[in-house]
Structure 1
Amino acid sequence: MKTKVIFSIFFIMTAHFAFAEERLRLEKADLLENVTVNGVSMQYLKGNVIFRKGEMVLKCDWARFNRKTEQSFLYGNVSTQKDVQKMTCDSLFVDSPKDLMIAYSNVDFVDTTYSLNSDMLHYFSELDSGSATGNAILIQDKQIIKGDAIEYKENELNGGVSYISRGNVEIIEDERLATCGEAIYNREGGKTVLRINPLINDGDQKISGSEIFLQYEEEELKEIYIPEKAQAQTISSGIRETINVIDGDSTMSQEPLSFSDDMTGSILRGFFKDGELDSVRLEGMATTLYHIFEDSIYQGNNRASGDTIVLKFGEDDLESIFISGGSEGTYTPDSLGSDIDGKVVYQSDKIKYNMQDESTDLLGEANIDYTDMNLKAGFINVAWRSNLLKALPSSDKDSTITPFRPTMIEEGNEPMVGDTMIYNLDSQNGKVIRGKTKADDGYYHGKEIRNQNMDIFYIDDAIYTTCELEEPHFHFDMNRMKMINNDKVVARPIVLYIADIPIFGLPFGVFPHQKGRRHSGWIMPSYGTDNRWGGYINGLGYYWAINDYFDTKLTASFYDRDGVTLRSQNNYSKRYAYNGSFDLETKQRFSSSTPAAERDIFNLGSNKQSDYVLRWNHRQKLRNNQSASVNASYYSSGDYNRRTGLEQQKRLNQQAVSNATYSKRWPKSRNSLSVNLSSRRDLMAKEKVDPNSVFYINPSRSDQQINIANNTFPQLAFSHSQRALFPTKSKNKKWYNNINYNYSSRFTNNMKQYYESETYAIDDSTDSYRWKNNSDGTLLTETFSDYIFSHSSGMNMSAKVFKYFNISPSLSLKSDWLNRSFEGQLDSSGTILKNEVKGFATRTTGSFNISMNTQIYGLLPTKIGKTEAIRHVISPSIGYSYRPDFSKDVFGFDPGYYQAIQQDNGEIAYFDRFSGTLAGGTPRGESQTLNLSVNNVFQAKIVDDDIEKKD
């Protein structure tokens, strides 16, 4: 117990002496004066005043000291020193119990690892922290930090301070200057955060964003991170050379230029090596704009964008740019300093720029548009110094690229495809390795294709074919070829190959090549095999452009096991008068009875059957607003298309359609008349009723029909378009001058030929169905005719009532005249039978409509931005339509369109007398409709750069 008491007394005494050592004590002054001010005892000290507080020595010229509170004001040449830590200022307030010192005016604080200058400094001596305000300058490591206020805290482990600088912050490090509204530095982690409009200037480079995070290691900047609104700019400069011609003499002038290369993105990450910028990564809607100089001469600018952009630097210069994700760009050449004629627009999956050799790699689905040229490929390299493009299907630089053969399209020319393409943007000359292009109806292949200019091409080891396959079934082989656009093709020698077998050869040949113009020439065939026809050559022939008004195309097709088809297609035309075509096609084929083993084209003459087709199309303009047209076709055999067509569309066409039309207009009276004759024949009708045919249709009921032909002889149509019922030329029109009427009529006479089925008895208990025959056993062809004469008329008007309302009533009537109708009859089973009634029948129907509308205008003089005013237009409308019930009395009169039949159960059934005729069914049931609508339109008056717009 005694030992514990002694230890406690010793601890208290030790703490007391230690505390006494940290108290503010006066050590020296030339003059000391004790005074009392407002009841407070103070010491006034003058001359070589020295205080001590622990290890700190404070000196000044004179001071005021309150011994009781241990507070002192020091004035004149004030200085403090604690070990190597020194501070000078004009005046100093010391609050010893709080370990607080406030320095005023010309404050200069120096430590081994940092120094601080400011107008005022709050310093906590024991915590080694403080707050400087007013022109605060902190110097630490290689940095100078400036701000309106700086709060700092010394780091005990490695010296130096962490700080927060606010207001007009500047951080200077070598040639790098960072400015912002607030900077926060963590000494232990080596991280600086710049906030409030941060901007970093490093020589000609600028970096900005919403915030900037700087990471340091061993006093060197290692990384920059910007989370939003990242932007980096670099100044590039050079000259532009201009050639001036005066009086025939040319002189060279140079103009200094300076541009800002710009990079933007949502996120920026910058990495430094040995204090120098090594690389930058932009993410999220990243864009870059840089200007190209060659030997200091300005060439143009390149703007590119993508999801991610990575920039690599070396020795203060940009070395490469890599863009990925939706990559695209535009190179705009300088109009004076570049040989390139226009913009180069490009896209690809990835883009890589190499700044050292000024080249660009487009990797994956690469696409370039330049003037009238488009180039697509899996990989494209652009050498900007030599203006050369090189396109390949893929690249060994990236194995993930989907191969795509280079394809070039120039305006006015067919696409060209090849394994390798080289193109000069300056001279517009190029070379294609293993290329292919289309000309007229054929394809040219070549081991190497070169162009002398935009119109002349040279092809080595060339082939020509109309087959689309890479390995064509047939082709012409040529060692050398010269192709002149819109003129001719010269080739030598020429050998025809079919299935890689040489057929015949020529020493040389000249072929027309005049795209868009009519010119005579050979037509190349297609070649193939078919299970039915055997081997065939289809479409070998010659096109003969006889003159500007007439041409003909003669073709022949040879089928090893089916025969020969000859075609003659003839076109004629006279400008502003008439044009048309006349086609003749014939096939010499084996008869259907010829066995398959005997079908050989060399035996065709001994056992053949001839079929032919005629087609005529003619269109002609006549005088006095008249015109005529004819479209006619004739088939000698109903199954001609099925037997001769290689194409599925032709084989499925089983209709022969012909029509002729004449029309006449009277513009002044607004009348028009047209006459039409038409026929549609089923080419397979006989096959469908022939029991021996694979297309035979077995009837499943009596009165089943198969149409042979539908003919319209004739169809007459007359129209009188809308005009005023009471016309006037007076400007002051009466209400009845707004009444308009119109009228039209159409007469149609239809005739139908068909086969019809009937019931016959197999035995006493079994019935079946068959197609009707004549007494001699041949098929019976039934005929039926029907006509309708329709008249349509209408009246309408538009008038303004009560000054603001528009009212528009209208009445429409339609009358149908027919040669037959139907009558309903109830049989013993309660079924209503439909009996045809021959003779004239008429039906008239109609409807009435009326609508009313107005417009209400409102103006909102609201000025928002560039919008001067907003107009609101409200358009309300109401409409009413009425159609009577034609199965009942109409205005007290029974039209007789429906027949009321009382059934056995007492119910009344209504039978439509016109259903099933050309007039169609009669509307039943009264219809009354009321429509209400309101349309709102907002219009804005916008003034943009003194230009007034309405939207």
Structure 2
Amino acid sequence: MTIFAKKLSVHLTDQKTDHNFTKIVFKPLQTNLFNIVLLSFFLSLGCNQLYSQDISKKRNAIPSKKQAETTVAANANLNQTKLDLKKETDTVKKIDSIKPKKAFLDGKVKYKADKYAKIDQKKKLITLYDKAELYYQDVELTAGIIVMDYEKNEVYAGRIKDSTGKYTQYPHFKQGTNEVEPDSIRFNFKSKKALIWNSRSEQGEFRIKAAITKKENDSVYFLKGARFTTSTNIEKPEYYFQTSKVKFIPGKKVITGLTNLVIADVPTPLALPFAYFPLSKETNISGIILPSYNDSNTRGFSLQNGGYYFALSDNYDLTFLGDYYTNGSYGLRFESSYAKRYAYRGNINFRYENLITSERGYPDYAKQKIYNIQWSHSRDSKASPNSSFSASVNLGSSKYFQQSINQANIGSNLNNTLSSSVSYSKTFNSVPQVRMSLSATHSQNTQTQVINMTLPTLQLSVDRIYPFVGKDGVKKGFFKNINLQYNLNGRNSYTTTDTLFFKPEMFKDAQIGMQHSIPLSTNFKLFKYFSASTSVNYEEVWYAKTISRKYDTDLSEVVDKTVNGFDAYRTYSFSSSLGTTIYGTFNFGKDKKIQSIRHVMRPSVSYSYTPSFEKYYDTYASDATGTITKQYTRFEGGIYGSPGLSNSNIVGFDLSNTFEAKVRDRDSTKVEPKKVMLLNNLNVSTSYNLNADGVNSLALAPFRVSGGTQLFQNKMNVNFATTLDPYAINNSGTRINTFNINNGGSLFRMTSANMTLNYSISSREKDKKDKNTQGERNGGREDDLFGKNTVVNNSSKSQFDGSEDEGTDKISKFFKSKLPWDMTFAYSLTYGNTNREKEITGNSIMISANADLTPKWKMGVSTGYDFVQNGVTYTQLRFERDLLSWRMDFNWTPFGTNANWGFFIGIKSGVLSDIKWDKRSTTY
């Protein structure tokens, strides 16, 4: 048998990639030629059944071997090359105990490079150079140079130097969702392990750079000489955390050894023996909220706003916060937000504080408990078109916002009223349609501490019924427009104080009543240009208790006794009105700047009549003799009032006016004139009592004049009102039945007047502000005339809106740029002359301004002046500095009962929001 040794070598490294050559060379063993011939003859005769391999007995010609195929496809420009490596196959089917060798790679490799792509079949290497790209399995790799060993299933990628000797084309390694940008990388496709030099990666808000990174698998990395930061500039961050050892689990956590905070490349003494940073793509993660340190002259040292955040689900969460002072004071807060798409959303806050001032035994020692509950809920109309539920609750201790140790909310502090409303309504699609609503309301005066509450209020109404409308459904004319309704209003009302709120005493004086009304009305045209309406209203009121009044001889005074039991009274009334609209235009010529003025008047006259209901009145003796008697009704003090004793026969007058001008536009290219509103409204109203008679009867009511307009391109709102009394007053200040002009005075006596101006200007369009602020929920203003809310250990909302780009370009153009600013101005003037005092009872101005001193500095001020009290009103100064990854602000109220200051500096990122310093003074 002749034995041959076969050697296959493929030489491609010296050839162009668009030409393939394969050289096959057979080299025989070095033996004697005679011996070879002899041995061949001998084997042919005597060993016909001896073969080097077992084959089938079938005598078929054995086809020649085909060369194993290696396909390399490349285009002429070297922009795309694909390699398909297949394992060698033999056309001869063998039954062999030796298993075939496994393929080198488990999938297709796609790659390309700008300069060259070399394939070394001998060393099993693919070398890509200049803008190299390689795609294999779930790995995407770009770099200056890439070398792939497809026998070891390893790839190496690195940077290259450009013509100036500078390193460029750093590797970019992406596997799944993890991305790394190192100086160089070595990766094994089988074990998934990698060795990375000077890696740069992003995980959530973190940017991480490490000298050496070892990738154990897809979920564990070990870093050496690492630093991590939230700065956008990973190469030159303004701050970073330096650590020697890090265990990094992408998307989950970072665990470090000794960690040191470095600011501006200067190590600080702030260090931790170890650190743990959670990483997650989830927006809601439960975790500890670190408290802030503070101190107070009256309560000692404190830890404030420490607690825990519970991410209960995607639809709701819970935050628990607490404060503790060394003198025993403490505070607790529960805050929860919830939402369900296309259904509802809301939030609920509960605050409780146990305040101790000074120490027991000192004269200024005091102890009190205050609380506040806020709940806001709204329902999406798409959830249920026929029903709705909403809540806006703000109740608690009247002095909470004045005395809270946790926040200085000036807008809430200056507000005198807390109010709440919870309501549910439903529409029944019957014929006629029925609407029903249940609500609970609350109103609380923080000065008098009086609380008025309804729990609940029931309202029911039946849609209008037109009994005389024909089959065509046309409602035209007096008769066909006749309609009637039914309205029901039931109320359970309480009046109490702060100290008795929800105590048994509160429910003793509850007032329960129900009001039924059936209005019958119609409207029609009269003489073509007049609109007329008339209505008759029937009303019935039910009460659960009434009063009985008599003179008590033992107490020597008149006393009222509560009579429990059902009672009712019934009344009716009549009213009608007649009105029209009059248009008037004054033309001045098209060549004039003001071409015309349009005046629209809407005069109306109304009449109402309510008879006397004496049958519901009784008499009582007002003295011990019983000779002096007075009338009263047992329904006095009811929540729906009481029936009238005297009939009412009143004619009312009302005139509303609007003035609009056509002004020639400054833009000469425009043909049409511009419309300008001169007066949005100018209203005059009064009434006359036809039944008034006698010396002391004042038939004519005072005239009420009110109006408003907008100036300076609708940026200034002007509103004014005044009351003009036609009657004179005597020396004691009582109105008498003598016209003021007949008493030596003017036609009308101005008894009161007020005017308000509101003006807002800005260098740019201001975004809509958050209308769910604490101050506005308490009924305050949405602007910052009363300053911004300050909460301890809460950086609040930054004045920077995030549109400020980081970098030096904006700084270098500072003196050429237009710095944004805005200003809000409010002025109020009140005049009083009820008793000829002729004095200004209120005269104050308030200003709030915000401006960018530099692209990274913002300043704001809120202040004002009271010209009656001759003093400066509430004043607040605000400064804020954008420190790129950090933020600093300072708020200062220099004087007044709410004088305080606050300083904050901390990292912007929510992940590291606990790294801060927040110092707030308590209200003096």
Instruction: Name which one, 1 or 2, has greater alpha-carbon Rg.
Output: 1
After TM superposition, is the score higher than 0.5? no
TM range (shorter): 0.3 to 0.5
TM-score by length of 1: 0.34
The structure carrying a bigger strand percent of its residues is 1
Q: Name which structure has the greater RCO, CA cutoff 8 Å, separation 6+.
A: 2
TM-score w.r.t. the length of structure 2 is 0.35
